[in-house]
Amino acid sequence: MKKTKLYTQHLQHQAKMVDFAGFTMPIQYPSGIIAEHEKVRSSVGVFDVSHMGEFIVKGDDALAYIQKLTTNDASKLEPGKAQYSSMCLTNGGIVDDLLVYHCGDYYMLVVNGANIDKDFAWAKQNTAGFSVSLTDDSDEYSLLAVQGPKSIETLQKLTAIDLSAVAYYSFVNGEINGIPVIYSRTGYTGEIGFEIYFKGDETIASKVWDAIFAAGEEFGISPIGLGARDTLRLEKGYCLYGNDITEQTNPLEAGLGWITKLAKGAFNGSDVIQEVKNAGVQRKLVGFKVLAEKFIPRNGYEIVADGAVVGTVTSGSLSPNMGYGIGLGYVATTLSSPGSIINISARNKLFEAEVVKIPFL
């Protein structure tokens, strides 16, 4: 298993380490997942998400290539802007969801850590016919997500750049302790925050980490693990690749029609996705809240309606902020309207749940 350049810092904070996406990563710290979750919702927390992948695209055909590779319309991007998008197979199945950064004379694609090798092979395969260079720079980058209501106040101490003026899905180049960084106004928690990209060895990573924690000390800044990252994203209804979206799901049924720009022209899977749109989506990813007491839905549980299995829970957890079980899952379109009653099957019992609009929080 790989280790991020901040592995030592996690051990110093007594993190519980697990294998994730080919890395040894912190799933939680001694305070626990709920406390970490609440820290991000109320103040500021720091995630080491250096397992994520970064691909660099350069060349005369860089934009045309990205237009074919991804579902969103990258022609709308200006330098300093980022875009949430996805990559599809030719059959419309989702290879991955990702961020596209317009860095001026090149683009950066940020992909899920568990998919780096698969994504790079697919992206490389699609360079045929384009004047582009594609490199996997994932091992060069570290990535910290500083998230929560106090995140801007924390980071503002480290830069003369007015971070409050950086719009959502925009980014700026700056420094932390003389180390070049990208301040990206993005995140996976639904809170105000930045993701900080930088290059360098363990010593450089430690300097960035220490500077951020010193800046956030007055706010009780804490390291946050993967466990809270999952509950935070679920409360906002954000998809997790491998659970809520896979190569067996298409963007329209996953609720990602807003990043699927069929009008921009042909891209991988666009003809199949257009057919799905014309025929009407047969199933949809929905959010649901559990009505039964003391039951937490989990990935893989069956969804039942009128005595028949109609779907599967793709993500589920106790919501720390709402105090009851919530989840995501695919159901027939006829059951996808808010207010529809479904049941979650577990332990040979049925637990009642209600389809609700997402985000949950």
Instruction: List pLDDT tens digits, range 79-136.
Output: 999 999 999 999 999 999 999 999 999 999 999 999 999 999 999 999 999 999 999 9
Q: What pLDDT is attached to residue 196?
A: 98
Q: What pLDDT is attached to residue 304?
A: 98
Neighbours of 90 (CB within 10 A): 11
- Which among 231, 241, 222 is positioned nearest to 47, based on CA atoms? 222
Tell me which amino acid residue 76 is: K
DSSP-derived secondary structure letter, 224: E
Q: How is residue 320 written in tokens? A: 């720390």
Q: 44-58 pLDDT, tens per residue?
A: 999 999 999 999 999
- How would residue 289 be classed by pLDDT, with cut points 50, 70 and 90? very high
Q: What pLDDT is attached to residue 317?
A: 98
CA atoms within 13 A on the CB side of 145: 22
Phi, psi of 157 (to 5 degrees): -65, -20
Q: 348-360 pLDDT, tens per residue?
A: 999 999 999 999 9
Q: What is the mean pLDDT of residues 329-343?
A: 97
Q: What pLDDT is attached to residue 355?
A: 98
Fold of 282-356: Elongation Factor Tu (Ef-tu); domain 3 (2.40.30)
Q: What is the mean pLDDT of residues 323-345?
A: 97
Q: What pLDDT is attached to residue 51?
A: 97
- How would residue 268 be classed by pLDDT, with cut points 50, 70 and 90? very high
CA atoms within 13 A on the CB side of 1: 15
Give the span between the Cα atoms of 106 and 183, in whole angstroms: 17
Phi, psi of 160 (to 5 degrees): -85, -10
- Mean pLDDT for the chain overall: 98
Angle at 359 between CA 353 and CA 360, to 5 degrees: 45
The domain over range 2-50+139-235 is classified in CATH as 3.30.1360.120: yes
DSSP-derived secondary structure letter, 187: -
Give the span between the Cα atoms of 68 and 304, in whole angstroms: 39
Q: Please, where in the chain does CATH 2.40.30.110 lie?
A: 282-356
Q: What pLDDT is attached to residue 107?
A: 98
Give the span between the Cα atoms of 302 and 284, in whole angstroms: 15
Q: What pLDDT is attached to residue 98?
A: 98
DSSP-derived secondary structure letter, 15: P
- How would residue 222 be classed by pLDDT, with cut points 50, 70 and 90? very high
Beta strands in the chain (DSSP E): 2-3, 16-20, 23-28, 45-48, 53-58, 82-88, 94-102, 107-111, 133-136, 141-147, 171-176, 179-184, 193-199, 222-224, 283-290, 302-305, 308-318, 325-332, 341-346, 349-356
Q: What pLDDT is attached to residue 352?
A: 98
Percent of the chain with pLDDT over 90: 100
Q: What is the mean pLDDT of residues 261-275?
A: 98
Number of H helices, E strands in the chain: 8, 20
Q: What pLDDT is attached to residue 85?
A: 98
Q: Please, where in the chain does CATH 3.30.1360.120 lie?
A: 2-50+139-235
This prediction has a pTM of 0.96
- How would residue 188 be classed by pLDDT, with cut points 50, 70 and 90? very high
Q: What is the mean pLDDT of residues 126-155?
A: 98
Q: What is the mean pLDDT of residues 276-290?
A: 97
Q: What pLDDT is attached to residue 283?
A: 96
Bridge pairing between strands 341-346 and 302-305: antiparallel
Length of the chain in residues, anyone? 361
Q: What pLDDT is attached to residue 297?
A: 98
Q: What is the mean pLDDT of residues 145-174?
A: 98
Give the span between the Cα atoms of 34 and 11, in whole angstroms: 20
- Which among 201, 208, 199, 179 is positioned nearest to 56, based on CA atoms? 199
